[in-house]
Structure 1
Protein backbone atom coordinates (compact mmCIF):
# COMPACT_ATOMS: atom_id res chain seq x y z
CA UNK A 1 0.00 0.00 0.00
CA UNK A 2 1.37 3.40 -1.03
CA UNK A 3 -0.89 5.49 1.19
CA UNK A 4 0.75 7.27 4.14
CA UNK A 5 -1.42 5.74 6.86
CA UNK A 6 0.54 7.42 9.66
CA UNK A 7 -0.64 10.84 8.57
CA UNK A 8 -4.36 9.94 8.77
CA UNK A 9 -5.63 11.38 12.04
CA UNK A 10 -8.10 13.86 13.48
CA UNK A 11 -8.39 15.81 16.70
CA UNK A 12 -11.55 15.02 18.63
CA UNK A 13 -13.57 18.14 19.51
CA UNK A 14 -17.10 16.95 20.28
CA UNK A 15 -17.71 16.98 24.04
CA UNK A 16 -16.34 15.98 27.42
CA UNK A 17 -17.41 13.30 29.90
CA UNK A 18 -17.21 14.39 33.51
CA UNK A 19 -18.19 12.36 36.55
CA UNK A 20 -21.24 14.59 36.97
CA UNK A 21 -22.37 13.83 33.43
CA UNK A 22 -21.70 10.12 33.84
CA UNK A 23 -23.78 9.80 37.00
CA UNK A 24 -23.72 6.76 39.25
CA UNK A 25 -25.57 4.32 36.98
CA UNK A 26 -24.20 3.46 33.51
CA UNK A 27 -27.53 2.40 32.00
CA UNK A 28 -29.20 5.84 31.70
CA UNK A 29 -25.93 7.15 30.27
CA UNK A 30 -25.83 4.33 27.70
CA UNK A 31 -29.43 5.03 26.71
CA UNK A 32 -28.77 8.73 26.21
CA UNK A 33 -25.64 8.06 24.16
CA UNK A 34 -27.51 5.53 22.01
CA UNK A 35 -30.35 8.00 21.40
CA UNK A 36 -27.85 10.62 20.28
CA UNK A 37 -26.12 8.06 18.06
CA UNK A 38 -29.40 7.11 16.37
CA UNK A 39 -29.72 10.75 15.30
CA UNK A 40 -26.08 11.50 14.56
CA UNK A 41 -25.06 8.14 13.06
CA UNK A 42 -28.05 6.97 10.96
CA UNK A 43 -26.10 4.11 9.37
CA UNK A 44 -26.33 1.21 11.83
CA UNK A 45 -26.17 3.08 15.15
CA UNK A 46 -26.94 -0.20 16.95
CA UNK A 47 -23.99 -2.00 15.36
CA UNK A 48 -21.54 -3.44 17.86
CA UNK A 49 -18.44 -5.60 17.59
CA UNK A 50 -18.94 -8.90 19.39
CA UNK A 51 -15.66 -10.40 20.59
CA UNK A 52 -15.38 -14.05 21.59
CA UNK A 53 -12.56 -16.52 22.13
CA UNK A 54 -12.29 -20.05 20.76
CA UNK A 55 -11.17 -23.15 22.64
CA UNK A 56 -7.52 -22.23 22.01
CA UNK A 57 -7.96 -18.75 23.42
CA UNK A 58 -7.75 -17.04 20.03
CA UNK A 59 -9.99 -13.95 19.87
CA UNK A 60 -12.54 -13.41 17.13
CA UNK A 61 -14.58 -10.30 16.39
CA UNK A 62 -17.53 -9.55 14.15
CA UNK A 63 -20.28 -6.92 13.96
CA UNK A 64 -23.80 -7.74 15.16
CA UNK A 65 -26.80 -5.54 15.94
CA UNK A 66 -28.15 -4.70 19.37
CA UNK A 67 -31.83 -5.64 19.48
CA UNK A 68 -32.74 -5.02 23.12
CA UNK A 69 -31.41 -3.61 26.37
CA UNK A 70 -33.27 -4.76 29.44
CA UNK A 71 -31.64 -3.69 32.70
CA UNK A 72 -27.94 -4.53 32.25
CA UNK A 73 -28.62 -7.18 29.60
CA UNK A 74 -27.76 -6.48 25.95
CA UNK A 75 -29.27 -8.82 23.35
CA UNK A 76 -28.49 -9.84 19.77
CA UNK A 77 -29.60 -12.71 17.50
CA UNK A 78 -27.69 -15.24 15.45
CA UNK A 79 -27.32 -18.86 14.35
CA UNK A 80 -26.38 -20.96 17.38
CA UNK A 81 -24.29 -23.27 15.17
CA UNK A 82 -22.15 -20.38 13.88
CA UNK A 83 -18.55 -19.82 14.94
CA UNK A 84 -19.69 -17.28 17.52
CA UNK A 85 -22.31 -19.66 18.88
CA UNK A 86 -19.81 -22.49 19.27
CA UNK A 87 -17.29 -20.16 20.91
CA UNK A 88 -19.89 -18.87 23.39
CA UNK A 89 -20.80 -22.46 24.23
CA UNK A 90 -17.15 -23.05 25.14
CA UNK A 91 -16.48 -19.70 26.81
CA UNK A 92 -19.41 -17.46 27.73
CA UNK A 93 -17.20 -14.44 28.50
CA UNK A 94 -17.70 -11.94 25.68
CA UNK A 95 -17.19 -8.26 24.89
CA UNK A 96 -19.32 -5.77 22.96
CA UNK A 97 -17.94 -2.55 21.46
CA UNK A 98 -19.96 0.35 20.06
CA UNK A 99 -18.19 3.05 18.06
CA UNK A 100 -19.95 6.23 16.99
CA UNK A 101 -17.35 8.31 15.10
CA UNK A 102 -19.65 11.29 14.50
CA UNK A 103 -19.87 11.72 18.27
CA UNK A 104 -16.27 10.70 19.01
CA UNK A 105 -17.66 8.05 21.35
CA UNK A 106 -17.06 4.42 22.15
CA UNK A 107 -18.71 2.08 24.66
CA UNK A 108 -17.11 -1.18 25.73
CA UNK A 109 -19.19 -3.82 27.53
CA UNK A 110 -17.88 -7.03 29.08
CA UNK A 111 -19.98 -9.81 30.54
CA UNK A 112 -21.37 -13.32 30.15
CA UNK A 113 -23.62 -14.42 27.29
CA UNK A 114 -26.58 -16.75 27.73
CA UNK A 115 -29.33 -17.81 25.34
CA UNK A 116 -32.61 -15.91 25.66
CA UNK A 117 -35.89 -17.79 26.22
CA UNK A 118 -37.08 -19.74 23.18
CA UNK A 119 -40.37 -17.84 23.13
CA UNK A 120 -38.43 -14.56 22.97
CA UNK A 121 -36.43 -15.74 19.96
CA UNK A 122 -39.57 -16.94 18.18
CA UNK A 123 -41.36 -13.69 18.88
CA UNK A 124 -38.50 -11.61 17.47
CA UNK A 125 -38.04 -13.90 14.46
CA UNK A 126 -41.67 -13.31 13.48
CA UNK A 127 -40.98 -9.56 13.22
CA UNK A 128 -38.13 -9.96 10.71
CA UNK A 129 -38.74 -9.35 7.00
CA UNK A 130 -39.69 -12.54 5.19
CA UNK A 131 -36.48 -12.48 3.16
CA UNK A 132 -34.44 -12.37 6.35
CA UNK A 133 -36.45 -15.28 7.73
CA UNK A 134 -35.73 -17.31 4.60
CA UNK A 135 -32.02 -16.48 4.73
CA UNK A 136 -31.83 -17.54 8.38
CA UNK A 137 -33.66 -20.77 7.58
CA UNK A 138 -31.28 -21.87 4.84
CA UNK A 139 -28.02 -20.56 6.30
CA UNK A 140 -25.50 -23.05 7.64
CA UNK A 141 -23.69 -20.08 9.10
CA UNK A 142 -19.89 -20.20 9.16
CA UNK A 143 -19.76 -23.48 7.17
CA UNK A 144 -17.95 -23.71 3.84
CA UNK A 145 -20.16 -23.67 0.71
CA UNK A 146 -19.09 -24.44 -2.83
CA UNK A 147 -20.38 -21.18 -4.28
CA UNK A 148 -22.93 -18.40 -4.08
CA UNK A 149 -25.23 -20.22 -6.49
CA UNK A 150 -25.84 -22.84 -3.80
CA UNK A 151 -27.28 -20.18 -1.52
CA UNK A 152 -29.29 -18.57 -4.31
CA UNK A 153 -30.84 -21.90 -5.27
CA UNK A 154 -31.67 -22.85 -1.68
CA UNK A 155 -33.18 -19.43 -1.08
CA UNK A 156 -35.37 -19.78 -4.18
CA UNK A 157 -36.54 -23.24 -3.10
CA UNK A 158 -37.46 -22.03 0.39
CA UNK A 159 -39.13 -18.91 -1.04
CA UNK A 160 -41.27 -21.13 -3.29
CA UNK A 161 -42.10 -23.49 -0.43
CA UNK A 162 -43.42 -20.63 1.73
CA UNK A 163 -44.84 -18.38 -0.98
CA UNK A 164 -48.35 -18.54 0.48
CA UNK A 165 -47.43 -17.71 4.09
CA UNK A 166 -46.24 -14.48 5.67
CA UNK A 167 -44.05 -15.95 8.40
CA UNK A 168 -41.69 -18.91 8.48
CA UNK A 169 -41.14 -21.05 11.58
CA UNK A 170 -38.13 -19.99 13.62
CA UNK A 171 -35.24 -22.44 13.09
CA UNK A 172 -34.37 -24.43 16.21
CA UNK A 173 -30.70 -23.45 15.86
CA UNK A 174 -31.42 -19.72 15.60
CA UNK A 175 -32.09 -17.32 18.45
CA UNK A 176 -30.89 -14.65 20.80
CA UNK A 177 -28.08 -14.18 23.28
CA UNK A 178 -28.25 -11.82 26.22
CA UNK A 179 -25.00 -10.38 27.56
CA UNK A 180 -25.20 -9.55 31.26
CA UNK A 181 -22.87 -6.59 31.64
CA UNK A 182 -20.27 -6.81 34.39
CA UNK A 183 -18.18 -3.89 33.19
CA UNK A 184 -19.10 -0.90 30.99
CA UNK A 185 -16.58 1.69 29.82
CA UNK A 186 -17.56 5.00 28.23
CA UNK A 187 -14.91 6.62 26.03
CA UNK A 188 -15.26 10.22 24.90
CA UNK A 189 -12.68 11.49 22.42
CA UNK A 190 -11.06 14.76 23.48
CA UNK A 191 -8.55 17.23 21.95
CA UNK A 192 -4.88 16.27 21.94
CA UNK A 193 -5.81 12.64 22.72
CA UNK A 194 -6.62 13.55 26.34
CA UNK A 195 -9.68 11.33 26.15
CA UNK A 196 -12.24 10.78 28.91
CA UNK A 197 -12.68 7.18 30.07
CA UNK A 198 -15.28 6.45 32.75
CA UNK A 199 -15.67 2.82 33.85
CA UNK A 200 -18.51 1.16 35.76
CA UNK A 201 -18.07 -2.26 37.36
CA UNK A 202 -21.03 -4.18 38.75
CA UNK A 203 -20.80 -5.38 42.36
CA UNK A 204 -23.02 -8.45 42.61
CA UNK A 205 -22.87 -8.45 46.41
CA UNK A 206 -24.49 -5.01 46.66
CA UNK A 207 -26.24 -5.01 43.24
CA UNK A 208 -24.67 -1.61 42.60
CA UNK A 209 -22.10 -0.06 40.27
CA UNK A 210 -18.62 1.17 41.19
CA UNK A 211 -17.39 4.07 39.04
CA UNK A 212 -13.86 5.21 38.37
CA UNK A 213 -11.85 7.10 35.76
CA UNK A 214 -9.01 5.61 33.69
CA UNK A 215 -6.18 7.44 32.00
CA UNK A 216 -6.54 7.72 28.19
Structure 2
Protein backbone atom coordinates (compact mmCIF):
# COMPACT_ATOMS: atom_id res chain seq x y z
CA UNK A 1 0.00 0.00 0.00
CA UNK A 2 1.26 3.49 -0.74
CA UNK A 3 1.63 5.63 2.36
CA UNK A 4 1.57 9.41 2.58
CA UNK A 5 5.37 9.26 2.72
CA UNK A 6 5.35 7.80 -0.80
CA UNK A 7 2.65 10.09 -2.21
CA UNK A 8 5.01 12.22 -4.29
CA UNK A 9 6.44 9.13 -5.98
CA UNK A 10 2.93 7.82 -6.64
CA UNK A 11 1.95 11.08 -8.35
CA UNK A 12 5.08 10.89 -10.50
CA UNK A 13 4.16 7.34 -11.54
CA UNK A 14 0.67 8.48 -12.49
CA UNK A 15 2.18 11.16 -14.70
CA UNK A 16 4.26 8.58 -16.52
CA UNK A 17 1.12 6.51 -17.02
CA UNK A 18 -0.65 9.43 -18.69
CA UNK A 19 -2.77 10.64 -15.77
CA UNK A 20 -3.64 14.34 -15.79
CA UNK A 21 -1.42 16.54 -13.65
CA UNK A 22 -1.29 20.29 -13.17
CA UNK A 23 1.30 22.44 -11.46
CA UNK A 24 1.26 24.50 -8.24
CA UNK A 25 -0.27 22.72 -6.49
CA UNK A 26 0.30 19.32 -8.06
CA UNK A 27 -3.01 17.74 -9.03
CA UNK A 28 -3.86 14.24 -10.10
CA UNK A 29 -6.85 12.16 -11.08
CA UNK A 30 -7.16 8.77 -9.36
CA UNK A 31 -9.58 6.33 -11.06
CA UNK A 32 -10.16 3.06 -9.26
CA UNK A 33 -12.14 1.18 -6.62
CA UNK A 34 -12.67 2.10 -2.99
CA UNK A 35 -10.96 -0.38 -0.68
CA UNK A 36 -11.85 1.42 2.54
CA UNK A 37 -13.53 4.69 3.52
CA UNK A 38 -13.62 6.64 6.75
CA UNK A 39 -14.94 10.07 7.64
CA UNK A 40 -11.61 11.63 6.67
CA UNK A 41 -9.73 9.21 4.37
CA UNK A 42 -10.16 7.01 1.33
CA UNK A 43 -8.09 4.01 0.31
CA UNK A 44 -8.38 3.51 -3.44
CA UNK A 45 -7.01 0.73 -5.63
CA UNK A 46 -5.95 2.53 -8.79
CA UNK A 47 -6.75 1.04 -12.19
CA UNK A 48 -3.01 0.40 -12.56
CA UNK A 49 -3.09 -1.94 -9.56
CA UNK A 50 -1.44 0.44 -7.10
CA UNK A 51 -3.20 1.33 -3.85
CA UNK A 52 -3.17 4.88 -2.51
CA UNK A 53 -4.41 6.50 0.68
CA UNK A 54 -6.06 9.87 0.14
CA UNK A 55 -7.05 12.45 2.71
CA UNK A 56 -10.75 13.22 2.19
CA UNK A 57 -12.17 15.89 4.51
CA UNK A 58 -15.84 15.56 5.37
CA UNK A 59 -16.70 18.59 3.22
CA UNK A 60 -15.17 17.13 0.02
CA UNK A 61 -17.75 17.50 -2.79
CA UNK A 62 -19.25 14.19 -3.94
CA UNK A 63 -20.80 13.72 -7.38
CA UNK A 64 -22.93 10.61 -7.90
CA UNK A 65 -23.28 9.17 -11.39
CA UNK A 66 -26.70 9.00 -13.01
CA UNK A 67 -27.46 6.72 -15.99
CA UNK A 68 -28.90 8.35 -19.11
CA UNK A 69 -29.79 7.16 -22.61
CA UNK A 70 -28.77 8.23 -26.10
CA UNK A 71 -31.95 10.32 -26.22
CA UNK A 72 -30.32 12.64 -23.67
CA UNK A 73 -27.58 13.56 -26.16
CA UNK A 74 -29.35 16.54 -27.67
CA UNK A 75 -28.41 19.45 -29.87
CA UNK A 76 -26.98 22.20 -27.70
CA UNK A 77 -25.75 20.01 -24.86
CA UNK A 78 -22.08 19.91 -23.85
CA UNK A 79 -20.64 16.40 -23.73
CA UNK A 80 -17.44 14.48 -23.21
CA UNK A 81 -17.12 11.44 -25.48
CA UNK A 82 -14.48 8.77 -25.01
CA UNK A 83 -14.11 6.92 -28.31
CA UNK A 84 -11.97 4.51 -30.27
CA UNK A 85 -10.75 5.02 -33.82
CA UNK A 86 -11.86 2.36 -36.27
CA UNK A 87 -9.80 1.04 -39.19
CA UNK A 88 -11.60 3.43 -41.55
CA UNK A 89 -10.64 6.42 -39.39
CA UNK A 90 -14.11 6.95 -37.97
CA UNK A 91 -14.66 7.17 -34.21
CA UNK A 92 -17.05 5.03 -32.16
CA UNK A 93 -18.07 6.13 -28.67
CA UNK A 94 -17.37 3.91 -25.66
CA UNK A 95 -18.80 6.30 -23.09
CA UNK A 96 -20.56 9.65 -23.14
CA UNK A 97 -20.78 12.15 -20.29
CA UNK A 98 -23.54 14.72 -20.65
CA UNK A 99 -22.28 17.67 -18.63
CA UNK A 100 -24.67 19.68 -16.47
CA UNK A 101 -25.04 23.17 -17.91
CA UNK A 102 -23.06 24.58 -14.98
CA UNK A 103 -20.04 22.54 -16.16
CA UNK A 104 -20.20 23.61 -19.82
CA UNK A 105 -16.75 24.13 -21.30
CA UNK A 106 -14.94 21.74 -18.95
CA UNK A 107 -11.86 20.32 -20.69
CA UNK A 108 -13.04 21.58 -24.07
CA UNK A 109 -11.15 20.12 -27.01
CA UNK A 110 -10.07 16.89 -28.72
CA UNK A 111 -7.14 14.79 -27.48
CA UNK A 112 -5.74 11.31 -27.00
CA UNK A 113 -7.40 9.26 -24.26
CA UNK A 114 -5.91 6.77 -21.82
CA UNK A 115 -7.60 3.72 -23.35
CA UNK A 116 -4.85 2.96 -25.85
CA UNK A 117 -3.19 4.46 -28.92
CA UNK A 118 -6.44 4.54 -30.90
CA UNK A 119 -8.59 6.16 -28.21
CA UNK A 120 -9.74 9.79 -28.12
CA UNK A 121 -11.54 12.13 -25.76
CA UNK A 122 -13.63 14.99 -27.12
CA UNK A 123 -15.30 17.56 -24.87
CA UNK A 124 -17.48 19.71 -27.08
CA UNK A 125 -20.86 21.15 -27.94
CA UNK A 126 -23.38 18.95 -29.76
CA UNK A 127 -24.27 20.65 -33.04
CA UNK A 128 -26.44 17.86 -34.46
CA UNK A 129 -27.50 14.25 -33.86
CA UNK A 130 -28.15 12.19 -37.00
CA UNK A 131 -29.45 8.61 -37.18
CA UNK A 132 -27.12 6.18 -38.94
CA UNK A 133 -26.99 2.43 -39.50
CA UNK A 134 -24.45 2.00 -36.67
CA UNK A 135 -26.11 4.30 -34.17
CA UNK A 136 -26.35 8.05 -33.79
CA UNK A 137 -23.75 10.23 -35.51
CA UNK A 138 -23.07 13.11 -33.13
CA UNK A 139 -21.56 16.20 -34.72
CA UNK A 140 -19.42 18.15 -32.28
CA UNK A 141 -17.65 21.50 -32.29
CA UNK A 142 -15.10 23.02 -29.95
CA UNK A 143 -12.67 25.92 -30.09
CA UNK A 144 -10.40 25.21 -33.03
CA UNK A 145 -12.09 22.17 -34.50
CA UNK A 146 -14.92 19.70 -34.95
CA UNK A 147 -15.50 15.94 -34.88
CA UNK A 148 -18.21 13.45 -35.78
CA UNK A 149 -18.50 10.44 -33.48
CA UNK A 150 -20.89 7.50 -33.79
CA UNK A 151 -22.66 6.57 -30.55
CA UNK A 152 -23.79 2.92 -30.75
CA UNK A 153 -26.68 1.45 -28.81
CA UNK A 154 -24.37 -0.14 -26.22
CA UNK A 155 -22.41 3.03 -25.37
CA UNK A 156 -22.66 4.09 -21.73
CA UNK A 157 -24.27 7.50 -21.30
CA UNK A 158 -24.09 9.22 -17.91
CA UNK A 159 -24.29 12.53 -16.10
CA UNK A 160 -23.82 13.42 -12.46
CA UNK A 161 -25.91 14.79 -9.61
CA UNK A 162 -24.96 15.89 -6.09
CA UNK A 163 -24.06 12.89 -3.94
CA UNK A 164 -23.29 12.31 -0.28
CA UNK A 165 -20.41 10.74 1.58
CA UNK A 166 -22.66 7.75 2.26
CA UNK A 167 -22.44 6.95 -1.48
CA UNK A 168 -18.66 6.46 -1.15
CA UNK A 169 -18.12 2.97 0.25
CA UNK A 170 -15.89 -0.06 -0.22
CA UNK A 171 -16.40 -1.75 -3.59
CA UNK A 172 -17.60 1.38 -5.38
CA UNK A 173 -15.80 2.67 -8.46
CA UNK A 174 -14.57 6.24 -8.05
CA UNK A 175 -12.57 8.96 -9.72
CA UNK A 176 -10.89 11.16 -7.13
CA UNK A 177 -9.41 14.53 -8.04
CA UNK A 178 -6.64 15.20 -5.53
CA UNK A 179 -4.02 17.82 -4.79
CA UNK A 180 -0.76 17.40 -2.89
CA UNK A 181 -1.04 19.26 0.42
CA UNK A 182 1.76 19.03 2.98
CA UNK A 183 3.06 16.02 1.10
CA UNK A 184 -0.26 14.19 1.26
CA UNK A 185 -2.76 13.58 -1.58
CA UNK A 186 -5.97 15.33 -0.53
CA UNK A 187 -9.28 14.91 -2.33
CA UNK A 188 -10.84 17.99 -3.90
CA UNK A 189 -13.71 16.09 -5.57
CA UNK A 190 -15.03 12.53 -5.57
CA UNK A 191 -17.06 11.05 -8.44
CA UNK A 192 -18.69 7.76 -7.46
CA UNK A 193 -20.72 5.08 -9.21
CA UNK A 194 -24.41 4.81 -8.44
CA UNK A 195 -27.35 2.84 -9.82
CA UNK A 196 -25.02 0.95 -12.16
CA UNK A 197 -23.59 4.12 -13.71
CA UNK A 198 -19.79 4.26 -13.51
CA UNK A 199 -17.76 7.48 -13.37
CA UNK A 200 -15.73 8.29 -16.49
CA UNK A 201 -12.64 6.21 -15.75
TM-score > 0.5 by shorter chain: no
Whose radius of gyration is greater, 1 or 2? Answer: 1
**Structure with bigger RCO (C-alpha 8 Å, 6+ apart):** 2
The structure richer in strand per residue is 2
The structure richer in helix per residue is 1
